[in-house]
Amino acid sequence: MTVLTLSTSGAATLRADALVIGIAKGPKGPVVTSGAEAVDKAFGGKLASVLETLGAGGAEGEVTKLPVLSGGLKTPLVLAVGLGPVPEKDEAYATESLRRAAGSAARALTGVKKAGFALPVGSVEDAEAIGEGALLGAYGFTAYQDQGEDKGDAKLPLAEVTLLGTKPRDKAFKAAAERAAAVAEEINRARDLVNTPPNDLYPESFAAVAQAAAKEHGLKIQILDEKALAKGGFGGILGVGQGSAHGPRLVRISYTHAKASKSLAFVGKGITYDSGGISLKPAGHNETMKCDMAGAAAVFASVVAVARLGLKVNVTGWLALAENMPSGTATRPGDVLRMYSGKTVEVLNTDAEGRLVLADALTRASEEKPDAIVDVATLTGAMMVALGNRTFGIMGNDESFRTAIHEIAEEVGEQSWPMPLPAELRKGMNSETADIANMGERMGGGLVAGLFLQEFVGEDIAWAHLDIAGPAFHEAAPFGYTPKGGTGASIRTLVRLAERTAAGDLG
């Protein structure tokens, strides 16, 4: 785990294995940013021209390494990371630009033990963004890779991040560093879960991870196994999981604060592997389906992060866990399931399973009458078609709540977009056999899924649905603080929602 520390040391006096500075894209070439003045002095005031000679221009995410061959610095390596265009007069670098730059730098320092970050710090928020970005960028999933003596630390993430230009004794800076560490560590926990192979992560083992975390952080937890789910009438979760040798689970994990006046429920889709069931996915579409539990991982990590931050809000996480497999006991297309709500659902496609487990969890969460419910799910490929691989869709039954979540996501640097729930699409899910079918019109499939979920939300409860199918699992080259594989999408949004609710800014 990468350690984050604050330091009053200057860039010239810090002893480290590498020193990270910022450069920006100026009208006449790269410009060295604030925080790197001592480094520029050590290069005779010609650091920008040296970097330009090496091809650096200051573009966002660009990384240039420069060895230190003379005195003036106590580090052997300077890493210059691009922050994009120089801000307009009286404007500062966006916190997301700082976060991404720190992530790019940390990724480029794999195998390094200690690095000082001398990026522009104009506020406590800047320091937090840099710390968070560095910790997220330093992530690596190496649990299944050989780390033998011959390989040394070459594949290990950056071990220590030291933020320069900060005030270690200042309460605000200390709190910012602690928040950055708590949120980043929980995002990385979620990434680990998403990246874990499905032969090791299945409903029972996922529930065990949640149980261990609950014990560590003083959270209440309840785990319903197959027998308890059958007794309780959770037909959706059972129907999806009945084809697998690994039985389904419904996990309730909760954090409470004695002075809380508001409560939130987070509901996560946790399909630990999605083969499609009898409606089997074709080759080329099932290789990454270990990521179909990313919603549950996000919910779990968010609850733990809220607990670590001690927020004055009650938060309950619901993890709807199942493995969707074909077998002689699997649900068939045409079967009818009786859900926890009492409604019946005709299953027309067993690969539209996420909405079935979420439906039961939404109904159960609604029984506790929270002030708001947010469900998170890698739910539809249609949302990826609509919004691409980096943006999640937001739907809901309350426009102001949906708007608030969109604004929160923008604030924390997560790309999202509000989507409608057109009433005319509901009739496409009419069934001659049951109360509703789990499929509707093909066009607008992501919206149809949202309409289905809305049927299972309790009355007078603000609800939002985050379809994170695009950004939950990154298959292209890493960028900024985003690695290849699990990303931890939506966690920062959920945590900030909890913070704003605790502060009385919502409702």
3-class SS of residue 503: coil
- Give the residue from 491, 481, 489 showing the smallest Cα distance to 140: 481
Sign of CA dihedral 364, 366, 371, 374: positive
**CB neighbourhood size of 270 (10 A):** 35
The pLDDT, as a whole number, for residue 109 is 98
Whole-prediction pTM: 0.97
Is 84 in contact with 59 (CB distance < 8 Å)? yes
Measured in whole angstroms, the distance separating CA 368 from the mean position of its chain's CA atoms is 26
CB burial readout 122-137, b (16+ within 10 A) else e: eebebbbbbbbbbbbb
Q: In this model, does residue 48 exceed pLDDT 70?
A: yes
Q: In this model, does residue 148 exceed pLDDT 70?
A: no
Element (H, E) at 467: strand 462-467
Q: In this model, does residue 147 exceed pLDDT 70?
A: no
Is 158 in contact with 110 (CB distance < 8 Å)? yes
- Cα 278 from Cα 154, distance rounded (Å): 44
The predicted model gives 331-360 an average pLDDT of 98
Contact residues for 207 (Cβ-Cβ < 8 A; gap 6+): 223, 249, 251, 319, 321
The predicted model gives 197-219 an average pLDDT of 98
- Cα 206 from Cα 273, distance rounded (Å): 12
Residues that are catalytic: 281, 355
Q: What angle do CA 205, 208, 211 make, to 5 degrees?
A: 160
- What percentage of the chain has pLDDT greater than the value 70? 98
The pLDDT, as a whole number, for residue 150 is 59
Assign 3-class secondary structure to 387-428. HCCCCEEEEECCHHHHHHHHHHHHHHCCCEEECCCCHHHHHH
The pLDDT, as a whole number, for residue 165 is 87
pLDDT, one tens digit per residue, over 230-259 is: 999 999 999 999 999 999 999 999 999 999
> Quick one: tokens of 154?
């070459």
What radius of gyration do the chain's Cα atoms show? 24
For strands 249-255 and 314-324, give the pairing. antiparallel
Q: In this model, does residue 473 exceed pLDDT 60?
A: yes
How many CA within 13 A on the CB side of residue 337? 31
Which parts of 309-357 are beta strand (E)?
314-324, 336-338, 344-346
CA distances 153 to 116, 134, 157, 159, Å, are: 19, 18, 8, 10
Name residue 34's amino acid.
S
pLDDT, one tens digit per residue, over 84-117 is: 999 998 899 999 999 999 999 999 999 999 999 9
The pLDDT, as a whole number, for residue 153 is 61
* Mean of pLDDT over the chain: 96
> Quick one: tokens of 502?
């605790």
Going by the DSSP 8-state scheme, the letter that residue 253 receives in this structure is E
Contact residues for 353 (Cβ-Cβ < 8 A; gap 6+): 240, 271, 274, 277, 322, 324
State the chain's maximal CA–CA distance in angstroms: 81
pLDDT, one tens digit per residue, over 361-385 is: 999 999 999 999 999 999 999 999 9
Confidence of residue 506 (pLDDT cuts 50, 70, 90): confident
Confidence of residue 139 (pLDDT cuts 50, 70, 90): very high
pLDDT, one tens digit per residue, over 387-425 is: 999 999 999 999 999 999 999 999 999 999 999 999 999
The predicted model gives 76-81 an average pLDDT of 97
